[in-house]
Structure 1
Amino acid sequence: QETDLILWDEAVMSSKYNFEAVDRCLKDMMGAVDPTLKTKLFGGKVVVFGGDFRQIIPVVVKGSRADVIAECVSSSDIWSQVQVPQLTENMSVRYAGQEAAALAQKLLAIGDGSNGFKSAVPIEREWLLASDDLPSLIDKVYPSFATETNPISFDGRAILASKNDQVDAINDKAAAIFPGESQVYESC
């Protein structure tokens, strides 16, 4: 009840039902303190949604395109009360150099649909691997992985996967390449 601001990162990935449930919960909690807050969006709390609608939207298992759109927060009744500011500068690449800025522009054009391609986007040759095995991928993303001692060299690099078993396989292979013994730390 004492919170003034709620930040909801990657909100566009969440189902509209999540937002509606949080809205009802906050209305109930805050309405107990001040009955006028029972009718205010999110019980009068400021909620900032972070995310990009050009990226990942909610997943609807075996759902049609219409089902996915219906699941989005923008299809919720609360959406009419949301204010959407348009950000104009990509701060994550502001100081990352020209190469990162150029890549960000290409990705933005794809997301906006202004890249000139309607259904398929050609992948640039420099992004392709000659081999499809995991060690080649690791070597492409982390060229000096086995010998690198400066952790900063890993900054800005990542291998992404859509399934946990793929992540586990990548991590296992990378850990086998990296010198030294691995250590697992578990929280108590």
Structure 2
Amino acid sequence: MISKTALETTDSVLRDLTDSPFPFEGKRILLGGDFRQILSVIRRGIKTDLNNCIKNSYLSNQFQKFALLDNMRVINGDADWIKFLLDVGDGVANDYEDRVTLPKNLPVSENLVDDVFGDLRGEMAEAAILAPKNIDLDRRYLEIEPFRNRNVPK
């Protein structure tokens, strides 16, 4: 999900470029998501990181919110699973230590890491970090170095 900072920066740039007083220069912007299912998880994050969610932006009241009326998974007979997901999103499924117990009938993949992350080696081989100065790259290499010798699933 886009951060509050990115959203507000986009708005600011559009206003500056067009000298417009209107949010996003009056353009229609479509954002989609369910804040119960798209959690703001930030590794080693602090409260200010969580406050960077678009729900906390001064622009959030500029958006018209729509709700989907038909849950297609429920139509296919997954009402229990949908209720479980909503309970997790609402914090109802958590125990006293804020843990969630998954349903017993939930299929668990033997190759969970491969299923979730796919072919990281192939994707990383196609990746590049570009910078105008070598000193900028040197700093990035120091950030990447701890990950270089990790075993990546094939």
Which residue number in structure 2 is paired with residue 28 of structure 1?
A: 16
For residue 46 of structure 1, give the secondary structure of its aligned residue in structure 2: coil
1:90 aligns with 2:67: no
Unaligned 5+ runs, structure 1 = 1-12, 139-157, 173-188
1:15 aligns with 2:3: yes
Which residue number in structure 2 is paired with residue 145 of structure 1?
A: none
For residue 71 of structure 1, give the secondary structure of its aligned residue in structure 2: coil
Letter in 2 for 1:22: T
Which one of the candidate residues 104, 118, 130 is aligned to 1:125? 104
State how far apart, in whole Å, the 2-side matches of 1:113 and 1:163 are.
33
1:102 aligns with 2:58: no
Contact between 1:54 and 1:112, CA under 8 Å: does it hold in 2? yes
The 3 A distance-change label for structure 1 pair 102 and 60 is closer
For residue 63 of structure 1, give the secondary structure of its aligned residue in structure 2: coil
Contact between 1:24 and 1:42, CA under 8 Å: does it hold in 2? yes
Which one of the candidate residues 28, 39, 59 is aligned to 1:78? 59
Superposed displacement of residue 116, structure 1: 6.6
Q: Please report the RMSD computed on the Cα atoms of aligned residues, expressed in angstroms.
A: 3.4
For residue 50 of structure 1, give the secondary structure of its aligned residue in structure 2: coil
Higher CA-based Rg: 1
Contact between 2:74 and 2:82, CA under 8 Å: does it hold in 1? no
Contact between 2:11 and 2:24, CA under 8 Å: does it hold in 1? yes
Which one of the candidate residues 29, 35, 39 is aligned to 1:47? 29
Superposed displacement of residue 88, structure 1: 3.8
State how far apart, in whole Å, the 2-side matches of 1:26 and 1:63 are.
30
Contact between 1:73 and 1:79, CA under 8 Å: does it hold in 2? yes
Superposed displacement of residue 105, structure 1: 2.4
Tell me the matched-pair count.
124
Superposed displacement of residue 125, structure 1: 2.3
State how far apart, in whole Å, the 2-side matches of 1:112 and 1:73 are.
19
How big is each residue's C-alpha offset from its partner over 1:9-55, in whole Å with a ceiling of 9 and x where there is no partner?
xxxx22111101211222234x2xxx5xx111111011111011113
1:67 aligns with 2:55: no
State how far apart, in whole Å, the 2-side matches of 1:80 and 1:163 are.
40
Larger proportion of strand: 1
Superposed displacement of residue 94, structure 1: 5.3
TM-score computed with the length of structure 2 as normaliser: 0.61
Superposed displacement of residue 60, structure 1: 4.1
Letter in 2 for 1:159: D
Contact between 1:15 and 1:72, CA under 8 Å: does it hold in 2? yes
1:113 aligns with 2:101: no
How big is each residue's C-alpha offset from its partner over 1:62-106, in whole Å with a ceiling of 9 and x where there is no partner?
321x12321111222212322223334324x255x21x3432221
